[in-house]
Structure 1
Amino acid sequence: MFSRDNLDWQSREIATVAALTSLDGVESQLRSHFGIALNTGLTATQLRALVTDLTARLGPGPGERAAASLDQVLAQRA
């Protein structure tokens, strides 16, 4: 999926963040990919909406980890 040009960079980062959110113990990678997502032009508002959707689909545990990771990335950029 990533080796072909089927997805733009923003869509690739959304897919990567979603996959990482579903895994335990990958908060460092999740923070990195939130940063990359911001660098591709996604906004904090869009990423917060993504976290909200992922929380609804994956449950509160993964959602809270994703929200905390995003908060850390946004705080570092402020």
Structure 2
Amino acid sequence: MTVALTEDEVDKRVVDRDGTEMGTVVDVHHGAAHVTADEETVEEMQTRLPQGSIDETTYAVHDESVAEITDEEIVLDVSE
């Protein structure tokens, strides 16, 4: 399922399919949510998502990596 990421996603929690919190959306730019997290999580997400990192504390999530968007969170199409 492909969902469209918009500015409405800013400040939402980002979790994996298991519910593990992966960070918080700080910006949406060109269809990618910029998610801030600790450095270890960003490094881990580089291996789990095709988009990679923006810097040490931010990684990009594109709509094809999103399983679901709710009022409070974005669920990634990855598991622990």
Scaled by the length of structure 1, the TM-score of the pair is 0.29
Which has a greater percent of helix? 1
More strand by share: 2
Larger of the two Rg values belongs to structure: 1
